[in-house]
Structure 1
Amino acid sequence: MKSKERIPVGFITPLVLGTMMNPLNSTMLATALTTICQSFGRNISDGALLITPLYLTSTIGQPLMGRLADLYSPKKVNQLGFLLVLLAGITGTVAPTFDWLIVSRVLLGLGTSAAYPSAIALVNRRYAAAGEAVPGGVLGIIAVSGLGSMVLGPALGGLLSETFGWKGIFFINIPWVLVSLWLARALPDTPPAAPVSIRELPQKLDIVGILLFSGMLLNLLLLLLHHSFSPGGTLLLGMLLTLLILWERKQDSPFIDVRLFVQQPSLLLVYLSAMATSYVMYLMLFSLPQWMEHVKQISPARTGLLLLPMSLVSAVAGLLISRHNSLLVKNVAGVGCMIAACAALFFVHADIPIYLLTGITLLVGLSTGINPIANQAWLHEEAPAGRTGVSFGLYRTFGYIGAIVSGSQMKTLYQQGVTDNSFHTVVWFTTASCVLMVLLLLPSISRKKELSLR
């Protein structure tokens, strides 16, 4: 076997373990949320306060950690991420109040944000130093590890919360990180040729851009959690967005590259579709387990096991659709399956047989497996040459924003408790988002038809 084709197990293992932490901690919460809220005497709608912090800090933290990995040592950024997750695991395990769990989730979001960008930086520098191309298998393993942990999350979260109580989903991070840190000792430490001084750091990181973007996201979150319309908050959101755009247009190395939308306006359709897809996926992911545990009175462990086939179907569907060459087929199939899944969820009620409920969850899994792959293929086609990295970074940002909106909306929709009616209200919102996805896809379909007629 050629050298470039070998997968270095000792090198890749700690990177994979790190990459798995964000989606794993995200999906484990889905089946443990009811147990946590009951333990602290909180309404299930307050679960949104545990969902959104991870996505909020990930939205800001991932590009920030990526820049730090590029400017300094990716190994040190990787280790910093592990240490933050360790602190989050300890904080969550010993948390005396619900508020301390929120702190733990913030730390989790920041710590897990370091894993993916530092892993990619470590891989690139390792093979660049050896004068070799990065093996596709290495990047593939890192990418698939995230999907695998999403599959594992709901089942593991349900099992841990039922066996060890809700503390189990926080405690598991402690041995996970300790093993990862021990394995990461052998990772190469390759600092950049020209280190950045502390004086240059604010400009290189675009601190003003980070603060404006963070303020905008926090304001958006507060607006979403507010039960009534806030004119002042909406005005502030508009002002922060305007300031962010004006500032970032002038920066040589902007935190959010808004110039990309001018260079390639069609990218906005892709990003909005990614946001809508993420919104639907996470609203389904968090609302369905709560309904199963509250209305159907299914235990957390059994809920996780019932959702495991859905997750497996999602993974298989994603892998299969990725092999299809037609972008149009991918997108139409994805949106079509998601509309079908939303329609099927209207038939979910307290008396539904388990076998029918399982069948509906499989349809949900099919839709959540196809759509992200279809959106990524769409992005790959629209991204300008030489701007792929920036384009994909913004893609992940919009996806996280969709997750933030869905998580915060849970607080409003389940404010009066989890019932058939409140669950169906959730489904109406996901259906409306599917309609938006269809509208966003229409210009692309029209353009394909025009090109085929020429």
Structure 2
Amino acid sequence: MRRFLRRLRRGRTTVPESFDYRLVTPMVLGSILNPINSSMLAVALIPIGRAFDAPPAQTAWLVTGLYLATAVGQPVIGRLVDAFGPRRLYLAGTALVGFAGLVAVFAPNLWVLVATRVLLGFGTSAAYPASMSLLRTEADRTGVHSPSRILATLTVSNQIVTVAGPTLGGLLVGAGGWHLIFALNVPLAAACLVLGTLRLPAGGAVPSGVRTDVLGMVLFAGSLTALMLFVMDPAAGRWYLPAVGAAAGALFVRRELAATRPFIDLRVLGGNRPLLATYARQFLAYTVTYTFLYGYSQWLQDGRGIDPASAGLLQLPMALAAIAITVPTGRNAKVRGKLVAGSLIQLTGCACLLLLTSDSPAWLLLVLATVFGVPHGLNSLANQNALYAQADPERMGASAGLLRTSTYFGALLSSAVTAAFFQDGATTAGMHGLAWPMIGAAALFLVASVADRSLNRVGRDAT
């Protein structure tokens, strides 16, 4: 210490700058807008269907609309964050969230409500890539190799709202009807706008030489939309959707390989196999997580005969378990052990779903929620740390957006699988059938975690 002080007086060293913790609150508050809108709806689908006299096949579009918009919007807006700075996109996105929430409260029919969910998907796509971009900038400024505490804070906050969303949604529906889960967006967006305006650093003038590869974005969005629409309702008569998706995808690849400043640099991304593996693990993990969140919530109400508020409360242990495991492990940037343990526990939870019956005791329902909460905490934290270590710093926004896209690929697949097994309602037999694809995805996730040796390097040099 004395040597350090002598060097400091002689001008041979400098005191490291500290992280600007004023950024944390708007980063966290903005990043939770997407998961809170994703998970609260789980217990509101049945009340909304009854209000508009709509069958499950139609109310499923409330889930699909947000996930599809998010899957497309995350990498697109992430690239815009890289080009124009995080502050502008953060403020524009949160303003759109507030507007969509207000319109949803007064929606006259189901399809207007679906449209507001699409707007929510695009609006909530801005804050997470903006936060990751800010985090990368602050880490470079302060010299912190891996700000694991801040990453853990983001992870914990997102985990809390994802798994506590059904509980909060159930309480809101019980207190004032399904409208309240949309109205909540208005004060949340207002808080984001105020904090973002006051605390986020200004991005300066818009760079005159920046090209955003609009054609690449359009082709990417078109390919993804067509494929996801087919996945949500596969039928022989809709053969043209995968054909359109494949054609748009081929044009997208050709465009990105030829572009000077591509939307997604496929050469760099293709050469970064560890990052691609992280996206694959995120897809598998969240396929299981969202299938449980939505399938289990509906089964509790239809198959077990529990009201929405109580169904939400029965999933509260999932949130508590996720927090309990993330807080002590969040400071450690290493990921391999977390992923292997998380995948094993997730696989165990999926197998336990086969034990459910129409009169399963409350203790079993609570234990199941707890079991699924632990891997949610471990997997989310580990994949986010892996992304931070593996992504190109100059494309952190787009890379973070693609991680969220992987998340919602899983959510879209889970929605399609849930709809397939719940065609006759959320029965116990349907829940047992749903458990098998969940077991398959969890097993693949375990294999991917064990086989990826590059994970040994993540977090080793963190400071």
Would you call these one fold, judging by a TM-score over 0.5? yes
Aligned pair in 2 of structure 1 residues 6, 263: CA closer, same or farther (>3 Å)? Answer: closer
Q: 1:436 aligns with which of 444, 448, 451?
A: 444
Structure 1 residues 187 and 264, CA gap change in structure 2 (3 angstroms)? closer
1:292 is matched by which residue type in structure 2?
L
Distance 2:275 2:256 in 1: 18
Of 152-161 and 42-51, more deviation after overlay is shown by 42-51
Residues 1:300 and 2:308 are matched in the alignment: yes
Could you give the per-residue CA deviations for residues 140-193 of structure 1, whole angstroms, max 9, x where no partner exists?
544433233224322111100111101010011112223333344423552345
Q: Would you say 1:251 and 2:262 are equivalent positions? A: no
Question: Are positions 1:427 and 2:435 aligned together?
Answer: yes
Q: How far is the alpha carbon of 1:87 from its aligned partner?
A: 1.2
Pair 1:214 & 2:214 matched: no
Conserved? CA contact 2:256–2:265, under 8 Å: yes
Q: Distance in 1 between matches of 2:326 and 2:364?
A: 23
Does 2:345 correspond to 1:337?
A: yes
The verdict on how the C-alpha distance between 1:179 and 1:289 changes in structure 2, with shifts beyond 3 A counting, is same
Question: In the TM superposition, what is the alpha-carbon distance from 1:139 to its structure 2 partner?
Answer: 5.4
Q: 1:67 to 1:447 in 2, by over 3 A?
A: closer
**Residues 1:80 and 2:92 aligned together:** yes
In the alignment, is the contact (CA less than 8 A) between 1:221 and 1:408 conserved in 2?
A: no
**In 2: Cα distance, 1:404 partner to 1:120 partner:** 24
Q: Does 1:370 find its partner at 2:381?
A: no
Q: Is the 8 A contact 2:227 2:245 kept in 1?
A: yes
Distance 1:271 1:184, change over 3 A: closer
Partner of 2:169: 157
- The structure-2 alpha-carbon separation of the partners of 1:178 and 1:247, relative to structure 1 and needing over 3 Å to count, comes to same
Q: Distance in 2 between matches of 1:394 and 1:382?
A: 13
Note the alpha carbon deviations across 1:356-376, whole angstroms, 9 max, x for none: 111112111122222233444
Give the residue type in structure 1 aligned to 2:362: I
Shift in Å, 1:392: 4.4
Mapped partners of 1:336, 1:30: distance in 2: 25
Paired-residue identity, %: 33
Residue 110 of structure 1 is matched in structure 2 by 122
- The answer for the alignment partner of 1:361 in structure 2 is 369
Name the Cα RMSD after superposition: 3.1
TM-score normalised by L of structure 1 = 0.86
Q: Aligned residue for 1:451?
A: none
> Structure 2: how far apart are the matches of 1:385 and 1:12?
19
Distance 1:53 1:176 in 2: 21
User: In the aligned structure 2, how far is the partner of 1:132 from the partner of 1:208?
Assistant: 37
For residues 307 and 44 of structure 1, the distance between their equivalents in structure 2, rounded to whole angstroms, comes to 22
Paired positions, count = 439
Which residue among 19, 28, 47 is the counterpart of 2:31?
A: 19
Letter in 1 for 2:29: L
TM-superposed deviation, 1:262: 3.4
Q: Summarize the alignment of residues 254-265 of structure 1 with structure 2, pairs less than 5 Å apart.
A: 254-265=262-273
Higher alpha-carbon deviation: 301-310 or 176-185: 176-185
In structure 2, the CA distance between the partners of 1:444 and 1:19, relative to structure 1 (3 Å rule), is: closer
Give distance in 2, aligned partners of 1:77 and 1:267.
Answer: 25
Q: How far 1:133 sits from its partner (Å)?
A: 5.2
Q: How does 1:281-430 map to 2 (within 5 A)?
A: 281-322=289-330, 327-376=335-384, 391-430=399-438
- Deviation of 1:355 (Å): 0.8
Secondary structure at the aligned position of 1:254 is classed as coil
Cα separation, 1, equivalents of 2:265 and 2:168: 38
For structure 1, the residue ranges without an aligned partner over 5 or more in a row are: 449-454
SS at match of 1:298: coil
CA distance in 2, matches of 1:243, 1:87: 35
SS in 1 for 2:355: coil
**Contact 2:256–2:263 under 8 Å retained in 1:** yes
The CA distance in 1 between the partners of 2:340 and 2:24, in whole Å, is 36
**How far apart are the structure 2 equivalents of 1:127 and 1:382?**
15
Contact 1:334/1:374, CA 8 A, preserved across alignment? no
Give the Cα–Cα distance (whole angstroms) in 2 for the partners of residues 326 and 180 of structure 1.
31
Give the letter for the 1:222 counterpart: L
Mark the CA change 1:270 to 1:146 in structure 2 (over 3 Å): closer, same or farther.
closer
Q: What is the aligned partner in structure 2 of residue 182 from structure 1?
A: 194
How far, CA to CA, are the matches of 2:334 and 2:98 in structure 1? 43
Distance 1:15 1:261, change over 3 A: closer
- Whole-Å Cα distance in 2 between the matches of residues 186 and 393 of structure 1? 25
CA-CA distance at 1:207 after TM superposition: 1.0
Q: How far did residue 397 of structure 1 move? A: 2.4
What is the DSSP-based 3-state SS (H/G/I as helix, E as strand, rest coil) of the residue aligned with 1:346?
helix
Following the alignment from structure 1 to structure 2, what is the Cα–Cα distance between the partners of residues 291 and 393? 32
Contact 2:75 2:399 in 1 (8 A): no
The SS at the match of 1:155 is: helix
TM-score where L is the length of structure 2 = 0.84
> What is the alpha-carbon distance in structure 1 between the residues aligned to residue 369 and residue 434 of structure 2?
15
